[in-house]
Each structure stands twice: as structure tokens, then as C-alpha cells.
A and B are shown apart, each in its own frame.
Chain A
């Protein structure tokens, strides 16, 4: 699946859709594919303060566990309850309905554009 050019990316395979001070965060199709079928998602609570680079959630597949790293520093404003009840959304639509959290951020580290992320994964 091509990495959408309107998104930004981290080396930990998250994507961000930035809109002003707010970002929607998910994991990339590459990450979802590597994990296999996602069967359990644990997300931070709304209102939680998160720090860029720290683990804030877990994405488990039948085979392995992926950690969700906070890509930015800020406050969680919304979590995707649909993905908690239907974890397969992460595989089915990683860049869309499989989004994980929304964050109001105060600080953003350097992110990758789609071309740089695609080069990173070699796919």
C-alpha cells in the first residue's frame, strides 16, 4: 500500500495527519503488515499527557506485540474506540478507519515525509 503524501511519518512506523496543533496518529500499512492480524489494541486515555518517543500503547497480533510510541508531545484528545472493539481495522484500513489517537501537541520532533518513509522501509 502506498504511503499517502499528505501524512508525515516516524521511524517507529507511525503516521501523523497534522492539522494546526492537532494530529491524528496511526500505524503504517507497512507496520500492520509486519505485525500480522491485529487482535488487541491498548490506547492511552483521553486527557493523558504523552511525551514524544515514549511507549503509550500496544498493538498485538496473533504472533507478536508492537508498541505504540508517542510521535509528539502533548495531550490525548480522542481515542478510536472502534479500533479497540474491532482491532482488524488496523489491518483493513491503517491510514483511515484504523487511526488510533488524536493529540493536541505542544512539540513535534523531526518527522519523515512519505518519500523518506518509503525509502526507510524499502517498499
Chain B
């Protein structure tokens, strides 16, 4: 892998919008356009548009595609309907997490696996390695695919008014054949200026919203068309800084922070993602069935007072005993108090437990709190 930065197909669009950039998994991506806080609030109250083209798209096709995914991933992906999406995990033999994924079923023998940018190559390699004995094709389509997320309460209206964006003819036979009817974690085939694309009602912000998978050639035109439709609907371009605070408030894990190769899903509250009830073997099954020791750290939410945020890698104490470490934390822009996720000793993991977080030499009390910190009001 080369060290030179990679660029999104939308890079020129971001430059024209005056974005500040950050290196994320080797990609120069927009960290903010203007204000992190304003972008965060826009997603909670109106809408934001994110370029997440750095994420990896891997097509899995063939007669054994469903059976292959049931073996390669922790969930039972063969059981989801065409159009449906499912959050899943790619485990190693030891039951640790290689990546967390969203998997869409696009056809009878066609699934799309969406991996984190930083785990693209390990994910592709692990999937390829697991194909032995299956009549299946694994194809990394990341370089040809752009991904734009429109998130927030106005996202639906924006998509409905986006010039050039139409549902595909085959959407008409789906159980939910319109964007309005589309349920969370379902998708519809669409076209943009006649070119096939995919719309998922998925996201990473805790708001209603959509993710649009489009070929790289049409990404900039689609972005601009979405922006035009959003002009009167409060849409602002939003960067990775607010994406992180949005997902944190929504209690969503971020690979490399809450999830890693040595953490078992059950420790991170993802035990249900591992389908131990499904028939047949899958990679990580034996280790997952064995479970973790009773004193293994568990992921909890922490809420503090004042304005000083516990941040990743800060240590958690109970009295003089170190009982854990913070994995993500920020002053919540929506709630206006500090929130964090941390792996702590089970002895202090009960809701309402008080722990201290060492914030650069000062220990401040935090209360163990249920995740998520923020849930949108459902209509």
C-alpha cells in the first residue's frame, strides 16, 4: 500500500466548498466545512450531506453467496430479504472483530458488503480466504463506487426533490416501493440520470436518512443535485468531525475505538449480532460459544457533568483502582454535557455506578448510563 494520500471522487467538490481535510484511513476526507457544531445541529434539526466514499464496497455473488456469507460472517445473511440490509461482523477464529459491516441483499444471488475504509484490505482478504468450497465470487468494487449519505429529518424530502434521481423500475415490485415507505435498514434500486445506483435507508448518525451508492463518474453531479434540492431544506455539507459526535450520541461503535481484533462482540454489547442459533459452522463460532471470562471488560456509556470531556484512552478509576479505559468521548453538542463510551470492569458496569475519569490529571465523576445517549423522536 502506498503512503501517498488517496482522494475521494468528490475531492474537487469539497475544495470548492472550502472544506478542511483530515487523513482518514489513508484518504484525505472533509473533517469540516465550517463549524463542527453547526454541522452537527444541522443533521439533528434539518439535514447534512456526507461524503463517505472512502468506505469499501464488496460484492458477493453466485449460487452459494448466501451460504458463504453465513459461514464468513457472524450473522445469518442468507435469511434477509432482497432489499433488506443487516448490520454484521467479520470475526476471526478467536472471535475477535476484523470489521463491522452493513450487508445489503440486492438480489437472489447478490449481496453487497460495506466495510470500513481502514479495514478494506483485511476484509477483502478474509472474505476471499473463506471462499474455499463455495461457488461464489467476491469482488472489491470500492474504487468504482462513491457513497453519499444524506442524514436528518429533512432527508426524505430532499431525496424526493433531487433532479435526476428516480427509483428503478424493479423497485415497483418491492414490498415498500417508495422512499416514504422504505423502512430503516431496507434499500431500493434507483437511477441517477439513467445510471443504476442504490439507496439504503441506513446511516451512522442516529437520525433518519439515506445512503446513496453511485458510480464514481456520477458522484459529483449527484452531490450537486442533492445540494440543490436541499437548498431550501436546511441541507449543509457535513464532515467527519460531526459524524463522530453524531454517532457517539447515538451510541454507535466505531471500529478501532469500541471494536478491534481482541474484543469479543459480547463485550461491546453486540452479542446478538453473532447468530449462534444459525445452523452450520461460521468463522469465530467456537470462540464465541466459549464466551469470555466473567471479568472481561464490558462497554458502557458514561455521562459527566460540566464541560470537560473524557476522551479516548483516558483511564477510568473506582477509588484508587483503575477499572477501565475510555474509547470515545466528547462534549455532546446535542445534550450539552460530556458523554463517553468506555470498557470497564464488570464490577462497575451496572447502570448508575459512579466512576472517575482521569482527565489530564484531574479525576472527574462519571455515571454509567444506558446507550444510546440520544434517540430521535419517532413520528
Contacts and interface: CB of A to CB of B under 8 A. Distances in A.
Contact of B331 (A33, A40, A42, A91): A40
Contacts of B195: none
A63 B241 contact: yes
Contact of B309 (A33, A36, A37, A40): A40
Tell me which of A37, A40, A65 has the highest count of chain B C-beta atoms within 10 A of its own C-beta: A37
Nearest to A60: B309
B201 interface: no
Contact of A62 (B20, B37, B308): B37
Interface in B302-323: 307-309, 311
A61 interface: yes
Nearest to A61: B36
Interface of chain B, main secondary structure: mixed
A76 interface: no
Tell me which of A39, A42, A58, A65 has the highest count of chain B C-beta atoms within 10 A of its own C-beta: A39
B45 interface: no
Tell me which of A36, A39, A40, A62 has the highest count of chain B C-beta atoms within 10 A of its own C-beta: A62
B243 to A, nearest CB: 11
A58 B359 CA distance: 11
B363 to A, nearest CB: 15
Given A36-B241, A39-B331, A65-B360, A60 B308 contact: yes
A82 to B, nearest CB: 15
Contact of A65 (B32, B242, B244, B311): B311
B307 A39 contact: yes
Contacts of B360: 58, 65
A36 B241 CA distance: 9
Given A36-B36, A39-B37, A62 B311 contact: no
Contacts of B36: 36-37, 61-63
B333 interface: yes
Nearest to A63: B241
A33 B330 CA distance: 18
Nearest to B244: A63
Given A36-B32, A60-B309, A60-B331, 11 more contacts: A36-B31, A37-B35, A37-B38, A40-B307, A40-B309, A40-B331, A61-B36, A62-B242, A62-B330, A63-B36, A65-B311
Interface of B: 20, 31-32, 35-38, 40, 241-242, 244-245, 307-309, 311, 330-331, 333, 360
18 contacts: A36-B31, A36-B36, A37-B35, A37-B36, A37-B37, A39-B307, A39-B331, A40-B307, A42-B308, A58-B360, A60-B307, A60-B309, A61-B36, A62-B245, A62-B331, A62-B333, A63-B330, A65-B311
Q: Which 10 A-B pairs have the closest CB atoms?
A: A40-B307, A37-B37, A37-B36, A36-B36, A39-B331, A62-B36, A63-B241, A37-B35, A62-B330, A62-B245
